[in-house]
Structure 1
Amino acid sequence: MMLNFFDQFMSPTLLGIPLITLALTLPWILFPTPTTRWLNNRMLTLQGWFINRFTQQLLLPVNLGGHKWAALLASLMIFLITLNMLGLLPYTFTPTTQLSLNMGFAVPLWLATVIIGMRNQPTHTLGHLLPEGTPAPLIPVLIIIETISLFIRPLALGVRLTANLTAGHLLIQLIATAALVLLPLMPTIAALTTTLLFLLTLLEIAVAMIQAYVFVLLLSLYLQENT
């Protein structure tokens, strides 16, 4: 009996305890902790170089007031990349395929950028709701449209990350199932399907990293508008 393809996205439980907590805790254990020595090993040096380069690139267009978010955005980027990559391993669970978790990341951070903008520069923040030079009859309609687009931003953040990872995992499972079924019937076609599966896995690794970067990049752009 074939299981539902969407069963892989259900949160696993052990003795009634959801294992998503373990999946969220595991990435922090994998990264080495910096030491108090004068010189670190190659792994720590490479890790520090990557974080510094990413933070500089991410905060380049952001004002000085938004640089306080550097540690938060860098940590979120590394956390999402690790969760996405670990989810590609066999017999693992990808927490970022859950819309509730992604919305839990997106909504508070987006709301924090809006609150910062309303507190520091309310006139400039409210000015985004009405473009300059708008004809008077279109003012109410544009305000409603811009308000809806503002409140739909966190939903777009969460849905984008969830949809991309879910679609990639489903496609990998479909092609893997096809290769397994075709193996005793048409070995040549099964070999070609396996090659396609390998290339798709490489693509999914790239997607896992790119989607984490896009998530944090969009948050930095929202921060730029409100600082």
Structure 2
Amino acid sequence: MTLSFFDQFMSPTYLGIPLMALALSLPWILYPIPSSRWLNNRLLALQNWFINRFTQQLLLPLSPGGHKWAALFTSLMLFLITLNMLGLLPYTFTPTTQLSLNMGLAVPLWLATVIIGMRNQPTIALGHLLPEGTPTPLIPVLIIIETISLFIRPLALGVRLTANLTAGHLLIQLIATAAFVLLPLMPTVAILTATLLFLLTLLEVAVAMIQAYVFVLLLSLYLQENV
């Protein structure tokens, strides 16, 4: 029986138990817990340096009211990077290729930014729906367009993460299958294909990190408009 290439993106189960919960709990198990010592080991020092640099870079354009989200954004960044990177290992599953999971992360966080804007500064939040200097006949059309674009934001967040990871994983599997098939027939072409596969794997590692950063960065931009 020949399996579809897209079967790798199905949520796996073992003895009737979905393994999605195990995959989601792995990032919290892998990272070392900060200690109360004055001097940390190299791994903890590197981890703290990365978290501090990322938080500083992400929250630089935000007003002080948005700095309360620092812990949430940093945790989400580490969570998404770990899930994306673990999915590149053999015999693993990438939960972020599931649109349901990505939408479950995007919709509540986007809705929280909108509610904060409506609560703290409703005039400015509603003012984003109508650009200044709009001609009077275009006002109803622009309000409808801006409202639609506002509600499309969480869908764009979830679909962007899902599509990029799914496309990369699928391309890796297609090229790996081609290299495996060509090995006994045309070894030279198979070696060139394997070299391309190695370069594509490096690109996919970069994509896994960049997409997690883009997800959190866009959320911070949405928050910036509402604080």
Q: Normalised by the shorter chain, which TM-score bucket?
A: over 0.9
Return the alpha-carbon distance in structure 1 between the equivalents of residues 36 and 156 of structure 2. Answer: 42
- Equivalent residue number for residue 155 of structure 1: 155
SS for the counterpart of 1:100 is helix
- Equivalent residue number for residue 113 of structure 2: 113
SS for the counterpart of 1:34 is coil
| Paired AA for residue 75 in structure 2 | S
1:45-194 pair list within 5 angstroms: 45-194=45-194
Return the alpha-carbon distance in structure 2 between the equivalents of residues 166 and 142 of structure 1. Answer: 34
Return the alpha-carbon distance in structure 1 between the equivalents of residues 153 and 39 of structure 2. Answer: 43
| Paired AA for residue 201 in structure 1 | T
1:71-115 Cα deviation digits (max 9, x unpaired): 000000000000000000000000000000000000000000000
Total equivalences in the alignment: 227
Compute the displacement of 1:2 (Å): 2.6
Compute the displacement of 1:132 (Å): 0.4
SS for the counterpart of 2:70 is helix
1:136-186 Cα deviation digits (max 9, x unpaired): 100000000000000000000000000000000000000000000000000
Q: What is the aligned-residue identity percentage? A: 87
- Equivalent residue number for residue 25 of structure 2: 25
- Equivalent residue number for residue 42 of structure 1: 42
Compute the displacement of 1:38 (Å): 1.1
- Equivalent residue number for residue 226 of structure 1: 226
Compute the displacement of 1:36 (Å): 1.3
Matched, 1:211 2:211: yes
Compute the displacement of 1:189 (Å): 0.1
Compute the displacement of 1:224 (Å): 0.2
Return the alpha-carbon distance in structure 2 between the equivalents of residues 147 and 37 of structure 1. Answer: 51
SS for the counterpart of 1:161 is helix
Return the alpha-carbon distance in structure 2 between the equivalents of residues 91 and 215 of structure 1. Answer: 26
Return the alpha-carbon distance in structure 1 between the equivalents of residues 102 and 192 of structure 2. Answer: 35
| Paired AA for residue 58 in structure 1 | L
Return the alpha-carbon distance in structure 2 between the equivalents of residues 74 and 37 of structure 1. Answer: 22
SS for the counterpart of 1:93 is coil
After TM superposition, the score normalised by the length of structure 1 is 0.99
Matched, 1:16 2:19: no
| Paired AA for residue 125 in structure 1 | A
SS for the counterpart of 2:171 is helix
The runs of at least 4 consecutive aligned structure 1 residues that moved more than 2 Å come to: none
Return the alpha-carbon distance in structure 1 between the equivalents of residues 197 and 83 of structure 2. Answer: 21
Return the alpha-carbon distance in structure 1 between the equivalents of residues 57 and 97 of structure 2. Answer: 27
